[in-house]
């Protein structure tokens, strides 16, 4: 097999070039190639300096994640980095694209770093539940100081070449097109420098204040995760011990994380997100329709949020509503959201003006005549949506894609109403639509291949994680969510409190919110019949008392003016009254029972969704729940969690509570296999 690494001689400089598409991951063959390049440079007296650079779209984007957990192959990444740093001739990294993780660590092992202006440098291992295990936690604080090292390792966001230069992580920033040439010239300039600058020989100054401030500022963000604390501990260690001891500490912490379930879950999600974009029966080269402008019907919270996704990415939007008042209100909300981004520094006022100039408000659907894609975002009513699609079918130009943002309804029925079902698809955004990453793409019975491919690609363009679902009530996400509501109500009647049930979801399972916190946030009255005299459920009783949720400062919980939540005696009274009326005795409900009755049915439904091919694969279900419903990434989504929790345990729990077990779940539990 030919090596992905080659060398080129530029007089007295040897250039070692990696070409390992797509992202120059540092797999065994690359590491061996780098080592061979160094051998060549060492053996040749005429070589006075070395440049390491990459072909393709990026400098090394990190260790090859697919190698984790397999038998190690020599040389290790750590060996290569050590060898580069100890090398007796100057080694210069020429960075373009994203130097990430092990790639950043290779660069830190080099004596000098030259970067293209558009390059980024970072150590995102924490996002995989890991830490930089190639000496990064020890070299970063030695070069850039503790504060930046903490930011880079424990949060994992990359920094620009300019910022890296300010911090001393990059020695020279050059024009992108001149990188290869400039790096060779730089290497020639430093060819005679001795002693060579080696990060490991520098000291890392302790900075306890920075550590304390960092931990305080990020406590909430890191809650539940193991890796941030390990990253912080390694950076602190760098300020306390020798480089060798720090490196040994880093290694031990890395191995601990690598063997833990959190990193396995986070790595699963890394590949799951990328896999979700692939549609099994759709050729990768399916032609795409051009989307240069978008029409949105409905200027409410959802329509406005959806519009922002396109406007921000430079795609003009025509937004239509039925009254001037609704239109003005919607546009006011969009403007206010962007004004907040000016305050936070994300955009300048001039940029926001340019963004808003791409928005055309209108009171007539006729103005969708030239739209390449029209997204309907009106309230959930099948007859209304069918009427709208019948109109859109006539108004929209030939080849335009017609999308519905329904969260439950029958996309096939809506598609038929349009008279051109092949053009119709579901685009289910999640609120707030300008923030939430998930986009459920609902593939109708007759959705054309190019419509599906276009919407998937467009989803990525607007920064979403698109996941395909077939048509069914609630699609993947809401169909699973619906499973928990009836058993939770039953458990309230048995004697559990809303706060106990929410605790199992949040503190025990790590979800962002429990069902009753979510209900209060969304509004207890969503879907309520609005007759205060008709009290058939706990929810009816709450609504009749005006306990409509956070907006009324009372729902399942009580709220103060800052929306701080406390358990409600009134809600407890309402539940007690219902229990008495039903003639049920109050009993203790254990946390374990809540898990079994509220969470296990969600897994059971996931298995049905897979068997019906509503979702293409179990990892798609995980992506939906992690990116759209606040399931913690560190347990990998419901199906990955189920695998680690034990499918046989779940089957036994479901049976204990009289729930019919999905055949696929049964089969997997019996055969000892897992969801893959
Ligand atoms: N190892 C193996 N495969 C990788 C990879 C890696 N480090 N990084 C990306 N890939 C694969 C992806 O799975 C994808 O494969 P596919 O086409 O079969 O789905 C392909 O490369 C392209 O990736 P993206 O779709 O993500 O491409 P983008 O252009 O959108 O993004 C990127 C490029 C910013 C480099 C992004 O891929 C990324 O963030 N990669 C991960 C970076 C990372 O986490 N590095 C640290 C690795 S751990 C490490 O280095 C440990 C060390 O400290 C010891």
What is the DSSP secondary-structure string of 464-497?
-EEEEEESSTTHHHHHHHHHHHHHHHHHHHHT--
> What is the 120 CA–ligand 1 centroid distance (Å)?
14
The closest-lying atom of ligand 1 relative to the alpha carbon of residue 58 is 35
How far apart CA 353 and CA 338 sit, in angstroms, is 9
Mutate to test the pocket of ligand 1, among 4, 27, 60, 62 (most ligand atoms within 8 A of CB): 62
Residue 69 has a pLDDT of 87
* Ligand 1 contacts CB of residue 133 (under 6 A): yes
Element of type H or E holding 158 = none
Q: How confident is the model at residue 307 (pLDDT cuts 50, 70, 90)?
A: very high
HSE, side-chain direction, 13 A CA sphere, residue 545:
16
Q: Whose CA is nearest to atom 22 of ligand 1?
A: 22
Mean pLDDT of 363-369: 98
Q: Which residues are catalytic?
A: 105, 125
Residue 195 has a pLDDT of 97
Helix axes 208-222, 227-238, angle to 10 degrees: 170
Mutate to test the pocket of ligand 1, among 22, 126, 272 (most ligand atoms within 8 A of CB): 22
Q: How confident is the model at residue 357 (pLDDT cuts 50, 70, 90)?
A: very high
How far apart CA 600 and CA 666 sit, in angstroms, is 13
Mean pLDDT of 9-17: 98
* Ligand 1 contacts CB of residue 541 (under 6 A): no
Residue 340 has a pLDDT of 95
Mean pLDDT of 382-402: 98
> What is the 269 CA–ligand 1 centroid distance (Å)?
12
Residue 466 has a pLDDT of 98
Cβ neighbours of residue 612 closer than 8 Å, sequence gap 6 or more: 470, 472
What confidence tens digit (pLDDT) does each residue in 653-662 have?
A: 999 999 999 9
- Give the number of other CB atoms < 10 A from CB of residue 116: 22
Residue 481 has a pLDDT of 96
Q: How confident is the model at residue 1 (pLDDT cuts 50, 70, 90)?
A: confident
58, 13 in Cβ contact below 8 A?
Answer: no
Which whole-number Å values give the CA distances from 647 to 266, 605, 608, 621, in the listed order? 20, 13, 14, 16
Helix (H, G, I), strand (E, B) or coil at 575: helix
Element of type H or E holding 568 = none
Residue 526 has a pLDDT of 86
Q: What pTM, to 2 d.p., does this model score?
A: 0.95
> What is the 220 CA–ligand 1 centroid distance (Å)?
27
Q: Whose CA is nearest to atom 41 of ligand 1?
A: 61
How far apart CA 25 and CA 284 sit, in angstroms, is 23
How far apart CA 307 and CA 294 sit, in angstroms, is 8
CA angle 225, 231, 235 (to 5 degrees): 155
Q: Whose CA is nearest to atom 34 of ligand 1?
A: 98
What confidence tens digit (pLDDT) does each residue in 501-557 have?
A: 999 999 999 999 999 999 999 899 988 999 999 999 999 999 999 999 999 999 999
Look at residue 135 and tell me whether its pLDDT is greater than 90. Answer: yes
Burial of 284 (0-12, 13-18, 19+ CB in 10 A): exposed
* Ligand 1 contacts CB of residue 23 (under 6 A): yes
> What is the 538 CA–ligand 1 centroid distance (Å)?
48
Q: How confident is the model at residue 284 (pLDDT cuts 50, 70, 90)?
A: confident
Residue 629 has a pLDDT of 96
Q: Percent of the chain scored above 90 by pLDDT? A: 98
Mean pLDDT of 205-222: 97
What would the DSSP string read from start to end of 108-152?
HHSSEEEEETT-EEE-GGGGGT---TTTHHHHHHHHH-HHHHHII
Residue 319 has a pLDDT of 98
How far apart CA 295 and CA 320 sit, in angstroms, is 8
* Terminal CA-CA length for the chain: 31
Pairing of strands 438-443, 424-429: antiparallel
Residue 566 has a pLDDT of 98
The DSSP letter of residue 199 is G
Residue 482 has a pLDDT of 95
Backbone phi and psi for residue 50, each to the nearest 5 degrees, phi listed first = -130, 140
* Ligand 1 contacts CB of residue 498 (under 6 A): no
- Give the number of other CB atoms < 10 A from CB of residue 11: 10
Q: Whose CA is nearest to atom 36 of ligand 1?
A: 61
Cβ neighbours of residue 648 closer than 8 Å, sequence gap 6 or more: 669, 670
Helix (H, G, I), strand (E, B) or coil at 402: strand
Q: How confident is the model at residue 350 (pLDDT cuts 50, 70, 90)?
A: very high
The closest-lying atom of ligand 1 relative to the alpha carbon of residue 132 is 53
Residue 267 has a pLDDT of 97
Which residue from 203, 48, 200 is spatially nearest to 134, judged by alpha carbons? 200
* Ligand 1 contacts CB of residue 61 (under 6 A): yes
Residue 2 has a pLDDT of 92
What confidence tens digit (pLDDT) does each residue in 593-615 have?
A: 999 999 999 999 999 999 999 99
Look at residue 115 and tell me whether its pLDDT is greater than 90. Answer: yes
> What is the 61 CA–ligand 1 centroid distance (Å)?
6
How far apart CA 210 and CA 214 sit, in angstroms, is 6
Six-digit token string for 47:
């070589």
The closest-lying atom of ligand 1 relative to the alpha carbon of residue 131 is 53
């Amino acid at each position: 097999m030919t090596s992905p690494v080659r060398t080129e001689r530029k007089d007295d400089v040897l250039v070692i070039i990696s070409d390992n598409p797509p992202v120059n991951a540092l797999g065994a063959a690359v590491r061996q190639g780098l080592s061979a390049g160094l051998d060549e440079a060492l053996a040749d007296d005429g070589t006075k300096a070395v440049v390491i650079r990459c072909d393709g779209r990026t400098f090394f984007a990190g260790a090859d994640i697919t190698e984790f957990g397999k038998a190690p192959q020599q040389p290790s990444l750590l060996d290569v980095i050590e060898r580069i740093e100890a090398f007796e001739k100057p080694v210069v990294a020429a960075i373009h694209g994203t130097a990430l993780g092990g790639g950043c660590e290779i660069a830190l092992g080099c004596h000098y770093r030259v970067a293209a202006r558009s390059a980024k440098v970072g150590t995102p291992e924490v996002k995989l539940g890991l830490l930089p295990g190639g000496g990064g936690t020890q070299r970063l604080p030695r070069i850039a100081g503790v504060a930046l090292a903490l930011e880079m390792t424990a949060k994992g966001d990359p920094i620009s070449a300019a910022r890296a230069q300010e911090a001393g992580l990059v020695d020279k920033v050059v024009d992108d097109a001149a990188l290869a040439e400039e790096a060779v010239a730089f290497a020639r300039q430093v060819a005679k420098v001795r002693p060579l600058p080696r990060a490991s020989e520098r000291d890392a100054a302790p900075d306890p204040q920075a550590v304390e401030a960092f931990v305080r500022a990020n406590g909430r963000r890191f809650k539940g995760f193991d890796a941030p604390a390990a990253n912080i501990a390694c950076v602190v260690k760098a300020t306390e011990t020798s480089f060798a001891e720090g490196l040994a500490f880093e290694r031990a912490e890395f191995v601990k994380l690598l063997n833990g379930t959190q990193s396995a879950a986070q790595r699963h999600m890394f590949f799951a997100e990328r896999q979700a974009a692939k549609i099994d029966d759709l050729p990768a080269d399916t032609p795409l329709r051009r989307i240069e402008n978008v029409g949105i019907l409905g200027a409410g919270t959802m329509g406005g949020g959806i519009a922002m996704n396109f406007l921000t990415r430079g795609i003009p939007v025509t937004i239509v509503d039925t009254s001037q008042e609704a239109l003005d209100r919607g546009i006011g909300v969009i403007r206010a959201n962007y004004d907040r981004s000016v305050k936070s520094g994300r955009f300048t006022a001039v940029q926001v003006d340019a963004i808003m100039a791409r928005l055309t408000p209108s009171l007539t659907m006729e103005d969708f005549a030239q739209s390449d894609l029209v997204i309907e975002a009106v309230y959930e009513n099948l007859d209304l949506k069918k009427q709208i699609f019948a109109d859109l079918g006539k108004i929209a130009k030939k080849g335009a894609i017609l999308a519905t943002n329904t969260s439950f309804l029958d996309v096939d029925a809506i598609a038929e109403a349009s008279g051109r079902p092949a053009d119709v698809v579901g685009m289910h955004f999640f609120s707030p639509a300008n923030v939430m990453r998930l986009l459920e793409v609902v593939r109708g019975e007759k959705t054309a291949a190019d419509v599906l491919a276009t919407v998937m690609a467009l989803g990525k363009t607007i920064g979403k994680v698109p996941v395909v679902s077939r048509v069914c009530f609630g699609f993947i996400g809401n169909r699973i969510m619906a499973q928990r509501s009836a058993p939770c109500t039953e458990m309230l009647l048995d004697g559990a409190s809303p706060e106990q049930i929410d605790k199992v979801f949040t503190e025990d399972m790590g979800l962002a919110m429990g069902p009753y916190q979510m209900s209060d946030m969304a509004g207890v009255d969503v879907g309520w019949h609005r007759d205060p005299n008709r009290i058939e459920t706990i929810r009816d009783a709450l609504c009749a008392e005006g306990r409509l949720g956070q907006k009324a400062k009372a729902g399942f919980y009580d709220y103060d003016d800052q929306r701080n939540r406390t358990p409600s005696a009134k809600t407890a009274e309402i539940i007690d009254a219902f229990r008495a009326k039903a003639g049920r005795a109050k009993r203790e409900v254990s946390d374990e029972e809540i898990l079994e009755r509220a969470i296990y049915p969600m897994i059971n439904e996931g298995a049905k969704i897979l068997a019906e091919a509503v979702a293409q694969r179990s990892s798609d279900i995980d992506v939906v729940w992690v990116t759209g419903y606040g399931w913690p990434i560190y347990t990998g989504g419901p199906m990955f969690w189920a695998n680690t929790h034990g499918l046989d345990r779940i089957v036994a729990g479901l049976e204990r509570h009289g729930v019919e077990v999905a055949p696929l779940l049964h089969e997997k539990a019996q055969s000892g296999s897992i969801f893959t």
